[in-house]
Structure 1
Amino acid sequence: MFSLNGKRALVVGIANEQSIAYGCASAFRAQGAELAVTYLNDKAEPYVRPLAEGLRAAMVMPLDARSDAQLDAVFDRIRDQWGGLDILLHAVAFCPRDDLHGRVIDCSRDGFGLAMDLSVHSFLRMIRRAEPLMGQRGTCMTVSFYGSEKVVDHYNVMGPVKAALESVTRYAAAELGGKGISVHALSPGPMNTRAASGIAHFDDLMADNAARTPTHMLASPQDVGAYAAFLASDAASNVTGGIHPIDGGYHIMG
């Protein structure tokens, strides 16, 4: 029903094979897209590079989203090697451990600022660099969570941070829609990713989610990837600005 043949995708945020970003990259590749993949630093490279090479990624590059120089280098190489970009996936989030595990009202100024910068503003920095490479059609996606709109135990300050990310998604979609660029936030249920491992009592959250979800199944990176691949296709060209639950129906439960 849809294909990504001929499309070029930048995937940011793969940490290992359980990563949501890896599930999306795999789905993009399976539908025919070419891939550019980034890794955080030298410590992460041995985990990410083999996965990227297994997907026959055309480019594997370092990227710490705090560095404007590294962001420029990634997008400059994409421009030089591909001449354009069709898909951007941003799956980056961070909060200092002490701030993540404390009350929202006790979050430090520096911790709040860092969480917002890396989890939210980095998406804008990437979109801004992707925009001139996308021409008349492109798709930008990020990853959110239900804790943005409802209080989820132990999710703490990342709830307000993800709420900001979703608002950014809507505003960016409104600003770029006239250029044919869509912007989305994927909102999967809890899953056992490296990023989630920092949340206290996360096993309890997953167990509760599975018990209350209509399908009684947790979402997987593959579920998210399948949805993301559709949104990146021409079949979804008139869909934008959405916060897309991929959670087995958990979001409909009272």
Structure 2
Amino acid sequence: MTQIPDGQALAGKHALVLGVANEHSIAYGCARVFRRLGAQIALTYLNEKARPHVEPLARELDAPIFAPCDVQKEGDLDAVFRQIAETWGRLDIALHSIAFAPKADLQGRLLDSSGEGFGVAMDVSCHSFIRMARLAAPLMTEGGTLLTMSYHGANKVVPNYNLMGPVKAALESAVRYLAYELGDRDIRVHAVSPGPLKTRAASGLKDFDLLLNEAVERAPIGELVDIDDVGLTAAFLTTPYAARLTGMTLYVDGGLSIMA
């Protein structure tokens, strides 16, 4: 496990983290680092089935805002932002770590994907980030940072990643366009692209264990990254150290993406 440094680099900052499912979630790794560096955290959970897995994490992070948020459910995302406005009055960081595709479309070939399944994947995994940005921007009165999670399959063919490749490519493009549109408001927008990680979402991919093993063998660093590695990179992007960076996709993969 990566060592998280102590410090107050995010003291006084308010951070919303969408997409925590359990203690193995990338979103939780990011929230944990944000909190360790001094930020206050707003955390969401998908539904009542997910709540018992996320609520202990919210307590651990002293999250004053803990709310349900299913981005497919009308009004849920708006309600989260209303609570942020009422509780904090502003927002500095919003992190989106949400992706979904119906199992049949996720595990089948892109060629065979259904229009409905592709549409659901695009809405949940990409357009919900745009909706989050639209709601977050008015609360980022002193500037801020919007973050989302991508994967190398957005740019190169990764066997068995299937329709999520084009969906993540759209997400990375959305990051660039939002960075352009929000730049004059001092709001920076990034995608973070982790290497293969043992998360519940990733386990839905066909032959994912083979992908993990290959990553260890091929990455120059020779080991998998963990959720805290991703959190540390996300935190860096929200600090003044990254004040002149926007619209980027940053790889956190031990160098795996540079290999032929």
Coarse TM-score class (shorter-chain normalised) = over 0.9
Aligned partner of 1:130 in structure 2 is 136
TM-score, normalization: structure 2? 0.96
**Counterpart of 1:167?**
173
Identity within the alignment, %: 54
- Do the aligned residues in 2 keep the contact of 1:139 with 1:183 (CA within 8 Å)? yes
Runs of 4 or more off by more than 2 Å in structure 1? none
Structure 1 residue 234: Cα displacement: 2.2
Alignment match of 2:154 (pick from 145, 148, 154): 148
* Superposed CA offset, 1:78-131 (max 9, x none): 001100000000000000000011110110000000000000000000000000
Q: Which amino acid aligns with 1:171?
A: Y
Aligned positions of 1:193-212 closer than 5 A: 193-212=199-218
Matched residue SS, 1:68: coil
Letter in 1 for 2:87: Q
> 1:113 matched to which residue of 2?
119
CA RMSD of aligned residues (A): 0.9
Aligned equivalents of 1:101 and 1:251: distance in 2?
Answer: 23
Given that 1:187 and 1:244 are in contact with CA atoms closer than 8 Å, whether structure 2 keeps it comes out as: yes
Deviation of 1:199 after TM superposition, in Å, equals 0.2
2:80 corresponds in structure 1 to: 74
- Whole-angstrom distance in 2 between the partners of 1:225 and 1:110: 33
1:235 Cα offset (Å): 2.1
The unaligned stretches of length 5 or more in structure 1 are none
Separation of aligned partners in 2, 1:136 and 1:16: 31
Q: Deviations over 1:201-238 (max 9, x none)?
A: 00000000110000011111000000101111122121
Q: Which residue identity does 1:83 align to in structure 2?
A: G
* 8 Å contact kept, 2:8–2:38: no
Give distance in 2, aligned partners of 1:84 and 1:233: 17
User: 1:135: Cα distance to partner?
Assistant: 1.2
Residues 1:123 and 1:114: Cα distance change in structure 2 (over 3 Å): same
CA distance in 2: counterparts of 1:240 and 1:31, whole angstroms: 21
Tell me the distance in 2 between the aligned counterparts of 1:68 and 1:180.
29
- The answer (yes or no) to whether the contact 1:100–1:156 under 8 Å persists in 2 is yes
- C-alpha deviation, 1:248, in angstroms: 0.2
For 1:174 and 1:216, the matched residues in 2 are separated by 36
Counterpart for residue 3 of structure 2: none
- Count of residues paired in the alignment: 254
2:253 is aligned with 1:244: no
Task: Measure how far apart 1:2 and its partner are.
Answer: 7.0
Distance 1:223 1:81, change over 3 A: same
Amino acid of the residue matched to residue 160 of structure 1?
P
Who is 1:97 aligned against? 103
CA distance, structure 2, for counterparts of residue 212 and residue 72 of structure 1: 43
Q: TM-score, normalised by structure 1?
A: 0.98
* Separation in 2, partners of 1:130, 1:67: 18
Matches of 1:16 and 1:4, distance apart in 2 = 23
Query: What are structure 2's unaligned runs of at least 5 residues?
Result: 1-6
The C-alpha deviation readout for 1:127-149, integer Å capped at 9, x for no partner, is: 00000000131000000000001
Question: In the alignment, which residue of structure 2 is the partner of 1:218?
Answer: 224
Task: Specify the code of the residue in structure 1 equivalent to 2:49.
Answer: K
On the 8 A contact 1:15/1:44 being kept in 2, the answer is yes
1:15 and 2:21 correspond: yes
